[in-house]
Amino acid sequence: MALLRSVRKGTRAVTWRDWVFAYLTLWAAPLLVGMALSALAILWRWPFDAMGTDVPAEDTISAMLGLGLFLMMVPVFSWIGLVISFPVVWLVLKLGLGGWLSFALGGVAMALAASAMIGGMAPEIPMVTGVLSAMALRWLLKRRKPDVFDLSRDNGAGHS
């Protein structure tokens, strides 16, 4: 597993369908997870409310609901980072620099750039979401096109 490298000119193997699948999945996944968390929190609380009794683990349920609602809002803002990341990810894969560390650093950079465009957000939130999104993007692309990230198949093309 290379931290900084991938197969040079890996963009030749990645089709537009792979790009669309990966980016749409990244964009929609927080919404689906947020809906599931919110539904779980509501379903967990509902029987206690119906019986008129105190809800055990009220703080936990509230935290789950809050996180779920936050995740449902992520796609409203995350598209900016995803749009500006595409040309960077394409170039990184073309140059053979698509390692895990490269994606993580790129995720931080793209998230901070998107955050600066939106404004008014603590940098920790976009940094974490940027790294998680970048890792998920690399994982999704690797699942669809494993040869792009398999350095043993590169035949030394441009790498020393």
Q: Where exactly are the structural domains of the chain?
A: 10-147
CB–CB of 137/130 below 8 Å? no
Neighbours of 109 (CB within 10 A): 17
Instruction: Give tens-digit pLDDT for 99-145.
Output: 999 999 999 999 898 888 888 788 888 899 899 999 999 999 999 99
Q: How far apart are CA 125 and CA 119, in angstroms?
A: 12
Model pLDDT, residue 160: 39
At residue 155, the pLDDT reads 59
Give the pLDDT confidence score for residue 121 in this predicted structure: 80
Q: Which residue has the tokens 């792009």?
A: 148
Query: And the tokens for 45?
Result: 């609380």
CA atoms of 104 and 38, how far apart (whole Å)? 28
Render each residue's pLDDT in the chain as its tens digit; 160 residues.
578 889 999 999 999 999 999 999 999 999 999 999 999 999 999 888 889 888 888 889 999 999 999 999 989 988 888 999 999 999 999 999 999 999 999 999 998 988 888 887 888 888 998 999 999 999 999 999 999 998 886 655 544 3
Distance, in Å, from the CA atom of 132 to the CA atom of 90, rounded to the nearest integer, reads 18
Q: Do 119 and 85 form a contact (C-beta atoms < 8 A)?
A: no
Instruction: For residue 33, give every residue at least 6 positions away whose Cβ sits within 8 Å of its Cβ, in sequence order, or none.
Output: 68, 71
Tokens of 14: 């990645």
CA distance 116 to 74: 16
